[in-house]
């Protein structure tokens, strides 16, 4: 499976997935730390990919997503955005609503 196919597979099989530097428990950059913290505060499970440990994904993801930086949050197969967008959505309560609705829809489908 090539890298683009692997990315598509990750996004399609995880309703909420964060591409970040490091992990939520050990982020490797401030932007990834702020984004993962905002997501964790929503109280739902999410998948993540450490792009530092996956150099092929780190190289191909900006091209695939048409988004040049990390972190990148994908919800229900759609790119939501990076750190600034996620933090703004968190402050307004929009992120929690999106994440909870997506998790509820996933649970109902299973």
pLDDT along the chain (110 residues), means of 10: 94 97 97 98 96 96 95 97 97 97 90
Return the pLDDT at 60: 96
* 84 within some domain: yes
Count the Cβ atoms, other than its own, within 10 Å of residue 85: 15
* 100 within some domain: no
Opening angle at CA 56, ends 51 and 47, nearest 5: 40
Count the Cβ atoms, other than its own, within 10 Å of residue 93: 10
* 109 within some domain: no
Question: Is 6 buried (19+), middle (13-18) or exposed (0-12) by CB count in 10 A?
Answer: middle
Give the domain CATH number at 27: 3.40.30.10
- The structure's pTM equals 0.96
Number of folded domains in the chain?
A: 1
* 81 within some domain: yes
* 104 within some domain: no
Question: Which domain covers residue 82, as residue numbers?
Answer: 3-94
């Amino acid at each position: 499976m090539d890298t683009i196919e692997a990315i598509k597979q990750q996004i399609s099989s995880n309703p909420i997935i964060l591409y970040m530097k490091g992990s939520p428990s050990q982020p490797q950059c401030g932007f990834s730390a702020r984004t993962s913290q905002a997501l964790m505060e929503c109280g739902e499970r999410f998948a993540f990919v450490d792009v530092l440990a996956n150099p092929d994904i780190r190289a191909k993801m900006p091209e695939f997503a048409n988004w040049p930086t990390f972190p990148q949050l994908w919800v229900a197969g759609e790119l939501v955005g990076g750190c600034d967008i996620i933090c703004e959505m968190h402050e307004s309560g929009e992120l929690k609503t999106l994440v909870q609705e997506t998790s509820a829809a996933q649970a109902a489908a299973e």
